[in-house]
């Protein structure tokens, strides 16, 4: 694949020249470029740059239908640089390239980090129930750690505006829907009205906003397996900002499937239905104990998470219809959108 025949990296030889010009050891000639599958938004590649040299990871925007303000490589690179060396493990950022002529789009490079990605029930088969339980604890502890970071001390002041976060997010994702929608969608308009009418009140006594990952889920981390599994890196920070941490938790709980829910989203998101994993309710209780936050409106935040995920998947579905997706399984994304909207309504009904 060193001839550049990988979708999304137009010329591997030109990439090799760029690496050499910027003092990044890359062996002789073009790197071997391999797509890392499983992602649904930004594209991720492994670069093998020569014998005895550690591989690099390249991230670039998706092909086609890139929404305004989305897929900002410089922004994602900034948060990795800020978190490098903190209690939140991330791959070390190596270089940022905002010149689209090198690979066909802006990109950044980061170090390769060893670890397993747990995405399906088959992936979860390597875990004993005790390991799954410990990983559940590490998962929610890491989310609380992200939300508890001192953003000023790590250099992320001004990375976002926590005040009015949910209201702005609701408006933003509605705009993204208008740019992405491929069909009429029953229940969508009513859902946005209900979300706007039910925005949680901001209490002066509530803990302040903080860093939010924006897409926190089990398969957006690398896990070192063993008797006591540990998270070696949290990845895919493309939607991170400063905002309401409970929106992060709400979306994480949408992704986290309880036993018996293996097929509800049609996205093979069934890792956490394996024996030993905590339930959503147990995760919620543990997060509340660690952070002291009031989770009485977590149903609203989960409904908001369903809405946001529906918009993201509709955008991916639009790229799939344009034949601009890279990899397999994209035909399922569009099927999940009406399911998410219906589930959001049920969550609001139960509030």
Determine the pLDDT at residue 345: 98
Determine the pLDDT at residue 227: 87
For residue 1, tell me if it sits in a domain: no
- 44 closest CA partner among 62, 64, 58, 65: 58
Residue 95: which CATH number? 3.30.200.20
pTM: 0.90
Is pLDDT at 264 greater than 70 in this prediction?
Answer: no
Determine the pLDDT at residue 3: 42
pLDDT, one tens digit per residue, over 176-201 is: 999 888 899 999 999 999 999 999 98
Q: Are residues 194 and 295 in the same domain?
A: yes
Quote the tokens at residue 126. Answer: 């390597």
Q: Is 21 helix (H, G, I), strand (E, B) or coil?
A: helix
Phi, psi (deg, nearest 5) at residue 211: -70, 130
Q: For residue 158, give every residue at least 6 positions away whose Cβ sits within 8 Å of its Cβ, in sequence order, or none.
A: none
| Domains contained in the chain, number | 2
**Distance between CA 182 and CA 337 in Å, rounded?**
11
**Mean confidence (pLDDT) of the chain:** 88
For residue 96, tell me if it sits in a domain: yes
> End of a domain among 111, 132, 147?
111
pLDDT, one tens digit per residue, over 4-17 is: 457 778 788 899 99
More confident residue, 133 or 334: 133
Determine the pLDDT at residue 255: 92
More confident residue, 335 or 203: 335
Q: Are residues 89 and 227 in the same domain?
A: no
Give the pairing of strands 241-243 and 210-212: antiparallel
Q: Are residues 273 and 199 in the same domain?
A: yes
Q: Is 43 helix (H, G, I), strand (E, B) or coil?
A: strand
Q: For residue 208, give every residue at least 6 positions away whose Cβ sits within 8 Å of its Cβ, in sequence order, or none.
A: 162
Q: Which domain holds residue 245?
A: 121-349
Banded model confidence at residue 248, pLDDT cuts 50, 70, 90:
very high
Determine the pLDDT at residue 196: 97
Determine the pLDDT at residue 136: 97
Quote the tokens at residue 266. Answer: 């049609």
Q: Are residues 67 and 169 in the same domain?
A: no
Q: Are residues 236 and 323 in the same domain?
A: yes
pLDDT, one tens digit per residue, over 87-106 is: 999 999 999 999 999 998 99
**Distance between CA 81 and CA 159 in Å, rounded?**
13
Residue 241: which CATH number? 3.90.1200.10
For residue 171, tell me if it sits in a domain: yes
For residue 30, tell me if it sits in a domain: yes
In whole angstroms, how far apart are CA 138 and each of 29, 101, 218? 41, 41, 10
More confident residue, 307 or 314: 307
Dump strand ranges (E) for 159-236: 210-212, 221-224, 230-234
**Distance between CA 221 and CA 200 in Å, rounded?**
30
Least confident of 116-130, 219-233, 252-266: 252-266
> End of a domain among 111, 146, 169?
111
- 5 closest CA partner among 40, 47, 34, 43: 34
Is pLDDT at 350 greater than 70 in this prediction?
Answer: yes
The secondary element (H helix, E strand) that includes residue 178 is helix 165-180
Phi, psi (deg, nearest 5) at residue 96: -120, 135
Determine the pLDDT at residue 1: 36
Banded model confidence at residue 245, pLDDT cuts 50, 70, 90:
very high
Q: Are residues 157 and 76 in the same domain?
A: no
Average pLDDT, integer, range 42-66: 84
Determine the pLDDT at residue 321: 75
């Amino acid at each position: 694949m060193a001839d550049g025949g990988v979708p999304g990296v137009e010329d591997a030889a030109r990439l090799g020249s760029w690496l050499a010009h910027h003092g990044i050891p890359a062996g002789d000639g073009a790197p071997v470029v391999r797509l890392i599958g499983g992602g649904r938004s930004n594209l991720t590649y492994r670069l093998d740059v020569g014998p005895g040299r550690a591989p690099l990871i390249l991230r670039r925007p998706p092909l086609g239908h890139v929404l305004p303000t989305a897929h900002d490589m410089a922004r994602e690179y900034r948060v990795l640089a800020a978190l490098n060396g903190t209690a939140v493990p991330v791959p070390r950022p190596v270089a940022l390239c905002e010149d689209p002529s090198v690979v066909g789009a802006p990109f950044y490079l980061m170090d390769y980090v060893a670890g397993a990605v747990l995405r399906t029930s088959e992936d979860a088969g390597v875990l004993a129930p005790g390991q799954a339980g410990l990983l559940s604890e590490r998962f929610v502890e890491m989310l609380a750690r992200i939300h508890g970071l001192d953003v000023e001390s790590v250099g992320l002041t001004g990375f976002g505006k926590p005040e009015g976060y949910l209201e702005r997010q609701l408006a933003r994702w509605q705009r993204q829907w208008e740019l992405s929608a491929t069909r009429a969608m029953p229940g969508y308009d009513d859902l946005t009205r209900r979300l706007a009418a039910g925005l949680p009140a901001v209490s002066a006594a509530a803990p302040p906003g903080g860093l939010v990952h924006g897409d926190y889920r089990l398969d957006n981390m690398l896990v070192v397996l063993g008797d006591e599994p540990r998270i070696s890196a949290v990845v895919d920070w493309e939607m991170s900002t400063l905002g309401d941490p409970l929106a992060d938790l709400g979306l994480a709980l949408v992704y986290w499937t309880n036993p018996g829910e293996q097929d509800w989203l049609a996205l093979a998101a069934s890792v956490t239905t394996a024996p030993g994993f905590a339930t959503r309710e147990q995760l919620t209780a543990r997060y509340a104990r660690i952070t002291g936050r009031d989770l009485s409106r977590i149903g609203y935040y989960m409904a908001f998470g369903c809405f946001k995920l529906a918009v993201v998947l509709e955008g991916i579905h639009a790229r799939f219809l344009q034949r601009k997706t890279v990899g397999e399984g994209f035909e399922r994304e569009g099927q999940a959108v009406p399911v998410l909207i219906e589930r959001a309504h049920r969550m609001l009904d139960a509030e």
